[in-house]
Homo-oligomer: A and B are copies of this chain.
Amino acid sequence: MRNFLLPIVLACSLPTVTIAQQQDSLALRHLADEVLTHSTAYENLRTLTKQVGARLAGSPQMVKAEQWGFKALKAAGADTVYLQECLVPHWVRGAKEEARIISNRRDFIPPLNILALGNSVGSGSAGVTAPVLEVASFDDLEAKKDQVKGKIVFYNYHFNPTYVKTFHSYRDAFIYRAFGASRAAKYGALAVIVRSMSHGANNNPHTGAMAYDSAYPKIPAVAIGLQDADRLSDRVKNDPSAKVFLRTNCRMLQDTIGHNVIGELRGTKNPGQFITVGGHLDSWDVCEGAQDDGAGCVQSIEVLRALKAIGMRPTRTLRVVLFANEENGTRGAKKYAEVAKTRGEKHLLALESDGGGFTPRGFTSTMDPALKAKMISWKPLFEPYGMHDMGEEGGGTDVGQLHAAIGTPMLELYTDSQRYFDIHHAAGDVFEAVNKRELELGAFGMAGLIYMADLYF
């Protein structure tokens, strides 16, 4: 009923709002025209994905990506561009993983399509060979805890198709990827296999970060593609002789040095105050990281370019931050927040794009209720661009660090999420999966929100 009741408030204040909103409406139209006609976001994304490619923290491509970001921010018209150093984790996959079902039956069994989970330990060169215990959930694991010892635990938790917003399915399912290994190791498991967090129609496994609980042994953890998950499940149920062999070659090395790449557009009136807009520069090692989160980077750069190009430069200093290492450490954002706190910086708001460059539907946010009500009152201005969702609580992982450190109001662009988990952290996250206009409409939405906040917050 939220969206249902809210407009009453707006309607009551209609006469006084209208004139200002007409001016704002024209300004936003001008901004949209600029982005939809002259955006460089799509071509920037092409060079990031095709010339740099996969760029996990600690990889050589991480350094190339930083150089790319530096140049792109300069080209967009930033007054100043600089690197902010931070320590980042350095996890490497090593040689390609392998896994297969071993059975006393004589049928041909194709290999299993797996990917080690980020931050996980390798299996050692001998690999792990063990019977498989399939569990449907953590509750099911607890019920079967006496059978876990010496087994490979297979979390076959299905991505829930009935959530309309797929991020809700993700929030529901990702705990098996993040915490499944230690939960199983507690009862003596030798390794875990996790069904990929996806509605996808192909068999690509989806990696992503996991973490160990130091109370238990660190065991190998892998993701498996959806079709192979079904195949493995069938086999386990129907073939008592079945075991799985898996070998992963990943390991965590010593922390290394990475950088947030920061470009500033000096504020016209209050250059000592800041508006942060950003995405994360790192990606998983198995894809081009086009939607996650090349899109957020190039959209943030476009915000700066467009606002400057048509003379709508904010009164506060606009800071575009390409965050280092969101995927497996959030170290870039932590550093950024720490520095802002130490310096006593005043931030008006921090806006992130990390839900892919899909058609924008609005914003999620966490901020003071009075500010939020103000933002929601802008809804009629954003609806002509298909953005109707202004009220939902939220905010991004990276801007969340600044919010936690100094209370900055935080927002995340909320996008149409139907296609995101088809490709998320998987081989399909490539440039070709991004639509130019969807990407641009999102960049416009971000620029528009910043324009309004700078005027009215």
Contacts and interface: CB of A to CB of B under 8 A. Distances in A.
Nearest to A6: B7
Interface stretch (A81-89, A184-192, A324-332, A383-391): A383-391
A372 interface: no
Nearest to A381: B4
A388 B385 contact: no
Nearest to A166: B437
A94 interface: no
Interface string A4-15: 111110110010
A32 B199 CA distance: 16
Contacts of A384: 164
A25 to B, nearest CB: 10
A386 B359 contact: no
**Number of chain A interface residues as a range:** 35 or more
Nearest to A385: B164
A214 interface: no
Given A3-B383, A380-B1, A380-B4, A161 B437 contact: yes
Nearest to A3: B383
A31 to B, nearest CB: 11
A436 interface: yes
Copies in the complex: 2
A162 interface: yes
Nearest to A422: B435
A421 to B, nearest CB: 9
A24 interface: no
A359 B4 contact: no
A6 B383 CA distance: 14
Interface string A388-428: 10000000000000000000000000001011001000000
Contact of A7 (B7, B161, B199, B441): B7
Interface in A361-392: 361, 380, 383-386, 388
A140 interface: no
A384 B162 CA distance: 12
A172 interface: no
A380 B3 contact: yes
Contacts of A11: 4-5, 7-8, 11
A98 interface: no
B437 A162 contact: no
Nearest to A8: B11
Contact of A33 (B6, B33, B162): B162
Given A4-B10, A380-B4, A437-B418, A32 B386 contact: no
Contacts of A454: none
B438 A419 contact: yes
Interface in A123-140: none
Given A3-B383, A32-B164, A437 B388 contact: no
A201 interface: yes
A1 B381 CA distance: 9
A444 to B, nearest CB: 9
A365 to B, nearest CB: 18
Contacts of A312: none
Contacts of A7: 4, 6-8, 11
A438 B359 CA distance: 13
Contacts of A359: 359, 416, 418
A37 interface: yes
A1 B380 CA distance: 7
Interface of A: 1, 3-8, 10-11, 14, 32-33, 36-37, 42, 161-162, 164, 166, 199, 201, 359, 361, 380, 383-386, 388, 416, 418-419, 422, 435-438, 441
Lowest 10 A-B CB distances belong to which pairs? A7-B7, A388-B388, A4-B380, A418-B437, A36-B161, A8-B11, A418-B438, A33-B162, A419-B435, A36-B162
5 contacts: A3-B383, A164-B384, A164-B385, A383-B388, A418-B441
Given A11-B11, A422-B435, 15 more contacts: A4-B11, A5-B11, A5-B14, A6-B7, A7-B7, A8-B11, A36-B162, A37-B161, A37-B162, A164-B386, A199-B436, A199-B437, A201-B436, A418-B435, A418-B437
